[in-house]
Amino acid sequence: MAGNQIGKTWCGGMEAVMHATGRYPPDWKGRRFDRPTVGWVCGVSGEVVRDTCQRVLVGRSGSIGSGAIPKDAIGELVTARGIADLLDTIKVQHVSGGTSIIGLKTYLSGREKFQGETLDWIWLDEECSMDIYTEALTRTNIGGGPVWMTFTPLLGMSDVVRRFLQEKSPDRVVVGMTIEEALHYSAEERQKIIDSYPAHERECRTKGIPVLGSGRIFPVEEVKIAIEDRSFPSHWARIGGMDFGWEHPFAAVELVHDRDTDTVYVAKTHRLKEASAIEHAAAIRSWGRDLAWAWPRDGKRETLEGAGIALAEQYRAQGLNMLHEHAKFEDGSVSVEAGLMMMLDRMRTGKLKVFKEHLDWWEEFRLYHRKDGKVVKEGDNLLCATRYALMMLRYAKTKSFSDAWRHAHRFAVMAPLIAVAALARA
């Protein structure tokens, strides 16, 4: 899932060629076939398949053999009907001595044209509908062969995109590619390309982030808030925020507040589902026992797992410094919209920064959107935890003060014992 003209189609084509020829790089860790294969290469229309996938595989018309399939491996080429220079089938010599078959298909032919065949692999270039995608999966069920898709998510949060980004599975993976990784462009060329796109398409066409249009809650370019990992002065204030969850993940963040500039940094993140309060507390306790934790209103709710004990109390029992009340603004309100606008204002003014390494946080940021005017409450756990902590930022404390207090208290307790020991030695 990548931006435009970055190289995703070449990547997809190279994998197709490896499976068809059996010529794998020595360091290839993916699926290998030691026999001829039957696979499909699919695209939006016949013209698009000819000009993209077919060009990558065998070259343009008149220069067959200039594509990714080695010229000495190209066998019979069967021409399709109806569209000039479009191929229907490419026969390829496999290193085992047999012949692999690559069929070229289009989404326009509909799901029915994807039925019946048993295949070793399928490459889908550009996004297809969910019914075609599931039909493609079905074609490879018997051998468990790979299905891969190369596309720019211009259709936004479609069913296919949502499946890959929000329905986690060990059998699916998303590989992102941004224009910053496209080294065939110079820095000046990359910036020129970025500036050429309309603002609402820029993140999608250059980074592969799904287009959410006016429905995106935080329409802010990542470069404005993303920073490299860094350390902070000990006198800057800190506060934690958490969002409770089981089937949807529990999430926690630590915010660091530079009061002089009123800039807040998302310094630490934790997200995990189907884990107990004991497990979560063990993971975030190292952030500091004196770290104050903001929590949502549902923290007063009791759970069966907690044997009737309110959620906030379960975490307090694990040694976390839970604030005395749930997250609210100073006037006592708990408006979600007010919290989102507060976050958006900070992003736009440069007063909210996030480490680039917090990939889970960025995943939520990119996909957070509205549907029919309402916030879609899916995949927003770290963002909610951030919002709760910002709502209670007035309770943030400096780490240096708490440490100094603890050391002073320890000295006050130990001083009489030290004095007695000294007298005894005298």
Which conformational region is residue 106 in: left (phi greater than 0), alpha (psi within -120 to 50 degrees), or beta? beta
The owner of tokens 């005894």 is 424
Where in the chain are the domains?
Answer: 8-192, 226-400
Pull the structure tokens for residue 315: 């975490």
Query: Using one digit for the tens of pLDDT, what is the confidence trace for 142-171?
Result: 999 999 999 998 887 788 988 888 787 889
Q: What is the pLDDT of residue 417?
A: 44
CATH number assigned to the domain covering 8-192: 3.40.50
What are the backbone dihedrals phi and psi of residue 320, each rounded to the nearest 5 degrees, phi first?
A: -85, 145
**What is the rounded distance in angstroms from the CA atom of residue 282 to the CA atom of residue 280?**
5
Q: If DSSP states are collapsed to H, E and C, what string results for 183-202?
A: CCCCHHHHHHHHHHCCHHHH
Residue 76 CA to residue 74 CA, distance in Å, equals 7
Q: Which amino acid is it at 409?
A: H
Given its phi and psi angles, is residue 319 left (phi above 0), alpha (psi -120 to 50 degrees) or beta? left
Q: What's the pLDDT score for residue 156?
A: 78
* CB contact at 8 A, 69 and 58: yes
Indicate which residue of 15, 76, 112, 126 is catalytic: 126
| 31 in Cβ contact with 146 (< 8 Å) | yes
CA pair distance 199, 181, nearest whole angstrom: 20
Under 8 Å between Cβ of 156 and 367: no
Q: What is the pLDDT of residue 370?
A: 81
pLDDT of 159 reads 85
CATH class label, 226-400 = alpha beta
Q: Of 165, 144, 175, which is closest to residue 212 (Cα–Cα)?
A: 165
Residues (pLDDT < 70) of the chain are 212-214, 302-308, 400-426
| Residue 72 to residue 276: CA distance in whole angstroms | 59
Strand order in the sheet with 87-93: 74-79, 87-93, 99-106, 38-43, 121-125, 147-150
- In 3D space, the residue among 137, 133, 124 whose CA is nearest the CA of residue 160 turns out to be 133
The pLDDT of residue 102: 97
Give pLDDT, residue 52: 95
Q: What are phi and psi of 78, to 5 degrees?
A: -100, 125
Burial zone of 20 (CB within 10 Å; 0-12 exposed, 13-18 middle, 19+ buried):
buried
Residue corresponding to tokens 């549907």: 371
| Maximum Cα–Cα distance across the chain | 107
126 is catalytic: yes
Which one, of 290, 292, 308, lies nearest residue 300 by Cα? 308
- Distance CA(54)–CA(56), nearest Å, equals 5
- The answer for residues whose C-beta is within 8 angstroms of residue 43's C-beta and 6 or more apart is 49, 52, 53, 104, 105, 106, 107, 124, 125, 126
